[in-house]
Protein backbone atom coordinates (compact mmCIF):
# COMPACT_ATOMS: atom_id res chain seq x y z
CA UNK A 1 0.00 0.00 0.00
CA UNK A 2 1.36 3.39 -0.97
CA UNK A 3 1.47 5.83 1.91
CA UNK A 4 0.31 9.37 1.30
CA UNK A 5 3.24 11.75 0.92
CA UNK A 6 2.09 14.33 3.43
CA UNK A 7 2.09 12.09 6.51
CA UNK A 8 5.42 10.64 5.43
CA UNK A 9 7.27 13.93 5.35
CA UNK A 10 5.27 15.78 7.99
CA UNK A 11 7.30 14.64 11.06
CA UNK A 12 10.63 15.52 9.43
CA UNK A 13 9.28 18.86 8.20
CA UNK A 14 8.01 19.68 11.69
CA UNK A 15 11.43 18.75 13.12
CA UNK A 16 13.23 21.07 10.70
CA UNK A 17 10.74 23.84 11.49
CA UNK A 18 11.83 23.43 15.12
CA UNK A 19 15.45 23.64 14.02
CA UNK A 20 14.68 26.90 12.17
CA UNK A 21 13.05 28.36 15.29
CA UNK A 22 16.12 27.51 17.38
CA UNK A 23 18.64 28.92 14.88
CA UNK A 24 16.70 31.92 13.54
CA UNK A 25 17.62 34.47 16.25
CA UNK A 26 21.27 33.47 15.95
CA UNK A 27 21.26 33.96 12.18
CA UNK A 28 19.36 37.25 12.47
CA UNK A 29 22.27 39.04 14.11
CA UNK A 30 24.67 38.26 11.25
CA UNK A 31 23.39 40.77 8.64
CA UNK A 32 22.88 43.46 11.31
CA UNK A 33 26.52 43.27 12.33
CA UNK A 34 27.54 44.39 8.80
CA UNK A 35 25.35 47.50 8.72
CA UNK A 36 27.21 50.70 7.84
CA UNK A 37 24.89 52.78 10.06
CA UNK A 38 25.34 53.73 13.70
CA UNK A 39 21.94 52.45 14.76
CA UNK A 40 20.47 48.97 14.60
CA UNK A 41 19.42 48.32 11.00
CA UNK A 42 19.71 45.95 8.09
CA UNK A 43 22.43 46.81 5.58
CA UNK A 44 20.64 47.82 2.35
CA UNK A 45 23.18 46.80 -0.26
CA UNK A 46 25.97 48.56 1.60
CA UNK A 47 28.16 46.45 3.91
CA UNK A 48 30.68 47.64 6.42
CA UNK A 49 33.01 46.18 9.01
CA UNK A 50 32.94 49.30 11.17
CA UNK A 51 31.33 47.57 14.15
CA UNK A 52 33.98 44.87 14.12
CA UNK A 53 36.69 47.54 13.90
CA UNK A 54 35.07 49.31 16.83
CA UNK A 55 35.19 46.08 18.79
CA UNK A 56 38.96 46.14 18.40
CA UNK A 57 39.41 49.81 19.31
CA UNK A 58 36.61 50.87 21.67
CA UNK A 59 38.09 51.20 25.19
CA UNK A 60 34.86 50.54 27.08
CA UNK A 61 34.04 47.30 25.29
CA UNK A 62 37.63 46.15 25.40
CA UNK A 63 37.82 46.58 29.14
CA UNK A 64 34.49 44.76 29.46
CA UNK A 65 35.87 41.83 27.47
CA UNK A 66 39.10 41.83 29.50
CA UNK A 67 37.18 41.91 32.81
CA UNK A 68 35.01 38.99 31.72
CA UNK A 69 37.98 36.93 30.56
CA UNK A 70 39.96 37.54 33.78
CA UNK A 71 36.95 36.86 36.03
CA UNK A 72 36.02 33.80 33.96
CA UNK A 73 39.49 32.26 34.15
CA UNK A 74 39.79 32.78 37.92
CA UNK A 75 36.27 31.45 38.49
CA UNK A 76 36.98 28.42 36.30
CA UNK A 77 40.21 27.67 38.17
CA UNK A 78 38.73 27.99 41.68
CA UNK A 79 35.54 26.15 40.76
CA UNK A 80 37.44 23.28 39.17
CA UNK A 81 39.80 22.84 42.12
CA UNK A 82 37.15 22.78 44.82
CA UNK A 83 34.67 20.81 42.73
CA UNK A 84 37.31 18.17 41.93
CA UNK A 85 38.21 17.85 45.61
CA UNK A 86 34.54 17.60 46.54
CA UNK A 87 33.60 15.07 43.84
CA UNK A 88 36.62 12.86 44.57
CA UNK A 89 35.84 13.03 48.32
CA UNK A 90 32.22 12.01 47.65
CA UNK A 91 33.44 9.19 45.39
CA UNK A 92 35.77 7.86 48.10
CA UNK A 93 33.19 8.20 50.83
CA UNK A 94 30.35 6.24 49.13
CA UNK A 95 28.36 6.88 52.29
CA UNK A 96 24.60 7.35 52.48
CA UNK A 97 25.10 10.85 53.86
CA UNK A 98 26.77 11.91 50.60
CA UNK A 99 23.35 12.30 48.92
CA UNK A 100 22.65 15.17 51.28
CA UNK A 101 26.05 16.78 50.61
CA UNK A 102 25.64 16.45 46.83
CA UNK A 103 22.15 17.92 47.18
CA UNK A 104 23.60 20.91 49.02
CA UNK A 105 26.27 21.40 46.35
CA UNK A 106 23.64 21.36 43.58
CA UNK A 107 21.29 23.77 45.30
CA UNK A 108 22.41 27.01 43.58
CA UNK A 109 21.42 25.37 40.27
CA UNK A 110 17.90 24.53 41.44
CA UNK A 111 17.07 27.78 43.24
CA UNK A 112 15.50 30.41 40.94
CA UNK A 113 18.20 32.83 39.70
CA UNK A 114 16.50 35.88 41.22
CA UNK A 115 16.75 34.31 44.69
CA UNK A 116 20.41 33.41 44.18
CA UNK A 117 20.92 37.00 43.09
CA UNK A 118 19.35 38.38 46.29
CA UNK A 119 21.33 35.92 48.40
CA UNK A 120 24.65 36.85 46.83
CA UNK A 121 23.78 40.54 47.05
CA UNK A 122 23.22 40.01 50.78
CA UNK A 123 26.54 38.16 51.06
CA UNK A 124 28.66 40.64 49.10
CA UNK A 125 27.29 43.66 50.95
CA UNK A 126 27.78 42.04 54.38
CA UNK A 127 31.28 40.81 53.49
CA UNK A 128 32.13 44.31 52.12
CA UNK A 129 33.04 42.89 48.72
CA UNK A 130 30.08 44.42 46.86
CA UNK A 131 31.09 45.73 43.42
CA UNK A 132 34.60 44.29 43.61
CA UNK A 133 36.47 41.54 41.77
CA UNK A 134 36.41 39.16 44.78
CA UNK A 135 32.64 39.66 45.07
CA UNK A 136 31.95 38.83 41.43
CA UNK A 137 34.35 35.88 41.54
CA UNK A 138 32.72 34.35 44.64
CA UNK A 139 29.24 34.91 43.18
CA UNK A 140 30.12 33.28 39.86
CA UNK A 141 31.93 30.42 41.61
CA UNK A 142 28.85 29.61 43.70
CA UNK A 143 26.75 29.51 40.53
CA UNK A 144 29.25 27.40 38.56
CA UNK A 145 29.88 24.82 41.32
CA UNK A 146 26.74 22.70 40.72
CA UNK A 147 27.49 22.32 37.01
CA UNK A 148 31.13 21.38 37.69
CA UNK A 149 30.11 18.89 40.39
CA UNK A 150 27.57 17.18 38.12
CA UNK A 151 30.12 16.93 35.29
CA UNK A 152 32.78 15.46 37.61
CA UNK A 153 30.43 13.01 39.33
CA UNK A 154 29.40 11.71 35.90
CA UNK A 155 33.10 11.32 34.94
CA UNK A 156 33.85 9.53 38.25
CA UNK A 157 30.89 7.19 37.85
CA UNK A 158 32.66 5.73 34.79
CA UNK A 159 35.70 4.65 36.86
CA UNK A 160 35.93 1.09 38.17
CA UNK A 161 35.89 1.34 42.01
CA UNK A 162 38.42 -1.52 42.14
CA UNK A 163 41.02 0.86 40.72
CA UNK A 164 41.20 2.67 44.06
CA UNK A 165 41.49 -0.59 45.99
CA UNK A 166 44.22 -1.85 43.61
CA UNK A 167 46.25 1.33 44.03
CA UNK A 168 45.85 1.23 47.80
CA UNK A 169 46.83 -2.46 47.93
CA UNK A 170 49.98 -1.64 45.99
CA UNK A 171 50.92 0.78 48.73
CA UNK A 172 49.82 4.16 47.30
CA UNK A 173 48.73 6.72 49.87
CA UNK A 174 45.34 8.35 49.41
CA UNK A 175 46.95 11.49 47.98
CA UNK A 176 49.02 9.39 45.57
CA UNK A 177 45.91 7.44 44.57
CA UNK A 178 44.07 10.69 43.92
CA UNK A 179 46.82 12.39 41.93
CA UNK A 180 48.25 9.44 40.02
CA UNK A 181 45.21 7.21 39.51
CA UNK A 182 41.91 9.03 39.90
CA UNK A 183 42.66 12.46 38.42
CA UNK A 184 44.24 11.16 35.16
CA UNK A 185 41.16 9.00 34.68
CA UNK A 186 38.79 11.98 34.90
CA UNK A 187 40.94 14.48 32.97
CA UNK A 188 38.22 15.06 30.36
CA UNK A 189 35.70 15.67 33.11
CA UNK A 190 38.08 18.19 34.69
CA UNK A 191 38.59 19.94 31.36
CA UNK A 192 34.83 19.96 30.77
CA UNK A 193 34.07 21.45 34.18
CA UNK A 194 36.74 24.15 33.68
CA UNK A 195 35.23 25.08 30.30
CA UNK A 196 31.69 24.99 31.68
CA UNK A 197 32.62 27.22 34.64
CA UNK A 198 34.35 29.69 32.31
CA UNK A 199 31.38 29.87 29.94
CA UNK A 200 28.89 30.27 32.81
CA UNK A 201 30.92 33.12 34.28
CA UNK A 202 31.54 34.69 30.85
CA UNK A 203 27.83 35.01 30.16
CA UNK A 204 26.45 35.43 33.70
CA UNK A 205 24.15 38.44 33.97
CA UNK A 206 21.27 38.04 36.46
CA UNK A 207 23.46 37.71 39.57
CA UNK A 208 26.15 40.06 38.22
CA UNK A 209 23.51 42.83 38.02
CA UNK A 210 22.96 42.47 41.77
CA UNK A 211 26.57 42.24 42.96
CA UNK A 212 28.19 44.97 40.84
CA UNK A 213 27.40 48.59 40.09
CA UNK A 214 30.11 50.90 38.76
CA UNK A 215 33.57 49.48 39.40
CA UNK A 216 33.40 46.01 37.93
CA UNK A 217 31.78 46.04 34.51
CA UNK A 218 31.70 42.70 32.75
CA UNK A 219 30.85 42.23 29.09
CA UNK A 220 27.29 40.97 29.80
CA UNK A 221 26.69 44.10 31.90
CA UNK A 222 27.71 46.30 28.99
CA UNK A 223 25.43 44.32 26.69
CA UNK A 224 22.58 44.61 29.21
CA UNK A 225 22.80 48.39 29.33
CA UNK A 226 23.35 48.47 25.57
CA UNK A 227 20.17 46.48 25.01
CA UNK A 228 18.00 48.46 27.39
CA UNK A 229 19.03 51.96 26.37
CA UNK A 230 20.00 52.48 22.74
CA UNK A 231 20.58 49.30 20.83
CA UNK A 232 24.18 49.51 19.66
CA UNK A 233 25.07 47.39 16.59
CA UNK A 234 28.44 46.64 18.24
CA UNK A 235 26.48 44.04 20.25
CA UNK A 236 25.71 42.32 16.95
CA UNK A 237 29.43 42.16 16.13
CA UNK A 238 30.22 40.56 19.51
CA UNK A 239 27.26 38.21 19.13
CA UNK A 240 28.48 37.06 15.71
CA UNK A 241 31.96 36.32 17.08
CA UNK A 242 30.53 34.35 20.05
CA UNK A 243 28.02 32.46 17.88
CA UNK A 244 30.70 31.58 15.32
CA UNK A 245 32.98 30.21 18.06
CA UNK A 246 30.18 28.16 19.65
CA UNK A 247 29.05 26.82 16.28
CA UNK A 248 32.63 25.85 15.46
CA UNK A 249 33.03 24.00 18.78
CA UNK A 250 29.71 22.23 18.25
CA UNK A 251 30.67 21.18 14.71
CA UNK A 252 34.01 19.80 15.92
CA UNK A 253 32.31 17.99 18.80
CA UNK A 254 29.54 16.53 16.63
CA UNK A 255 32.00 15.41 13.92
CA UNK A 256 33.76 13.21 16.46
CA UNK A 257 30.49 11.55 17.43
CA UNK A 258 29.35 8.67 15.30
Partner 1 sequence: MATATRRTRPRRLSIWAFYIAPLILLLLVSYFIPLLGVFSWSVTEPELGVSQYLRVMTDPGIHSILLRTLRICALTAVFSVFLAYLLAWHWVYGPPLRRKIIAFAVLVPFWISVLIRAFGWLALLRPQGIINSTLTDVGLISDPLPLVRNELGVIIGMVHFMTPFAVFPLVSVMRQVDLRILQAASGLGARAFRRFFEIFLPLTLPGIIGAFFIVFVFALGFFITPAILGGGRVVMIAEYIYTQMSQTANWGLGAALATTLLGFVLLMTWIVSRFVDFERLAK
Q: Which of positions 127-146 make contact with partner 1 (CB under 8 A)? A: 127, 138-139, 141-142, 145
Q: How far is CA 46 from the centre of its chain?
A: 35
Q: Which of 71, 105, 156, 186 binds partner 1 (CB under 8 A)?
A: 105
| 122 lies in the site for partner 1, by CB under 8 A | yes
Of 50 and 224, CB closest to partner 1 = 224
Site mask for partner 1 (CB under 8 A), range 164-183, x = bound? ----------x---------
Count CA within 13 A, CB hemisphere, residue 223: 18
Q: Which of 66, 118, 163, 170 binds partner 1 (CB under 8 A)?
A: 118
Q: Which of 55, 74, 76, 83 binds partner 1 (CB under 8 A)?
A: 83
| 112 lies in the site for partner 1, by CB under 8 A | yes
Q: Shortest Cβ distance from residue 58 to partner 1 (Å)?
A: 17
Q: Is there a contact between 34 and 48 (Cβ–Cβ < 8 Å)?
A: yes
What is the C-alpha to C-alpha distance for residues 116 and 141, in angstroms, rounded to an integer? Answer: 12
Q: Is there a contact between 225 and 21 (Cβ–Cβ < 8 Å)?
A: no
Of 67 and 116, CB closest to partner 1 = 116
Q: Shortest Cβ distance from residue 140 to partner 1 (Å)?
A: 11
CA distances 35 to 41, 233, 237, Å, are 6, 8, 10
What is the C-alpha to C-alpha distance for residues 159 and 150, in angstroms, rounded to an integer? Answer: 15
Q: Shortest Cβ distance from residue 59 to partner 1 (Å)?
A: 21
| 234 lies in the site for partner 1, by CB under 8 A | no
Considering only residues 9-68, where is the footprint of partner 1 by CB under 8 A? Answer: 11-12, 14-16, 18-19, 21-29, 31-32, 40-42
Q: Which of 149, 186, 192, 234 binds partner 1 (CB under 8 A)?
A: 149
What is the C-alpha to C-alpha distance for residues 132 and 153, in angstroms, rounded to an integer? Answer: 32
218's CB contacts (< 8 A; 6+ apart) are 64, 67, 68, 71, 136, 204, 208, 212
Of 139 and 216, CB closest to partner 1 = 139
What is the C-alpha to C-alpha distance for residues 130 and 216, in angstroms, rounded to an integer? Answer: 10
Q: Shortest Cβ distance from residue 158 to partner 1 (Å)?
A: 13
Q: Shortest Cβ distance from residue 141 to partner 1 (Å)?
A: 7
Q: Shortest Cβ distance from residue 50 to partner 1 (Å)?
A: 18
From 26, 181, 152, 130, select the one nearest 79 (Cα to Cα).
152
| 206 lies in the site for partner 1, by CB under 8 A | yes
How many residues form the binding site for partner 1 (CB under 8 A)?
87
What sections of the chain are H helices per DSSP? 5-33, 50-57, 59-93, 98-110, 113-126, 133-157, 162-169, 174-176, 183-185, 187-203, 206-211, 219-228, 234-256
Amino acid sequence: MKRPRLTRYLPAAAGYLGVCFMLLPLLAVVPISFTPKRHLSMPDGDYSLRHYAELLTNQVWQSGILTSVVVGLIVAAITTVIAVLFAVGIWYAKSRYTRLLVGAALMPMAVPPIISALTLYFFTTRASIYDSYPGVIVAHTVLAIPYAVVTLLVALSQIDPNLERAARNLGASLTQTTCLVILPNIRFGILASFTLAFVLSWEEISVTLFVTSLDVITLPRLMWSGLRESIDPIIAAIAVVVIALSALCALIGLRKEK
